[in-house]
Chains A and B, each alone.
Chain A
């Protein structure tokens, strides 16, 4: 990775720390997405969960996604962060902030970044249910993306 920012960590995510409104006076639009831990999954009551990640690829990938979003959507500022470790219900797992001159590109870039992280970053969610059972949530296959990068099929599979 090209900078020293840690985009993954065990600390609680701080939305305010990611806002950079005063630093970009040309930006009238700020889009924010925050994903929180739900208390249910496919009909089962979730008690807590643990996110793990393969950090060497993940840190580089999140930095690359931020940089790509700036170019692809022409936005000024992109910051995405993801929690790892044990999370309680209601805690934030992912936060993405995008600042742009206007709202349309801010919304579009924010959505694209979150999708790119969900579909491409080597992060795994292990859910622990109130009945005492647990499981890793089966998500997107990076192997398919490796052979057919970011194609429509792999995105549909991950929806």
Chain B
């Protein structure tokens, strides 16, 4: 891993956690990949079988839902929220 790469951690919940078989997935992003959307694309390339499910997920950081265009968080995981079915 080169010096300009950094690690982004995804936390997978519910159906996508079940599909992936794990709760946390790390990816390496370059210095040009600065947004949530950029990191999602890296995750999709690393795990193509999850790609369609990732597309349907919203993302959260802490207690906020964040858009694809939002900057990558520092020190927090990006939480993947698959389609919801409460009530």
Contacts and interface: CB of A to CB of B under 8 A. Distances in A.
Contacts, number: 90
Contact of A54 (B56, B60, B67): B60
Interface centre among B56, B81, B87 (most CB of A within 10 A): B87
Interface residues of A, number: 35
A136 interface: yes
**Secondary structure of the A side of the interface?**
mixed
B58 A93 contact: no
Interface in B40-87: 55-60, 62-65, 67, 79, 81-87
Contact of A136 (B14, B57, B62): B14
A117 B84 CA distance: 10
Interface of B: 13-15, 18, 55-60, 62-65, 67, 79, 81-87
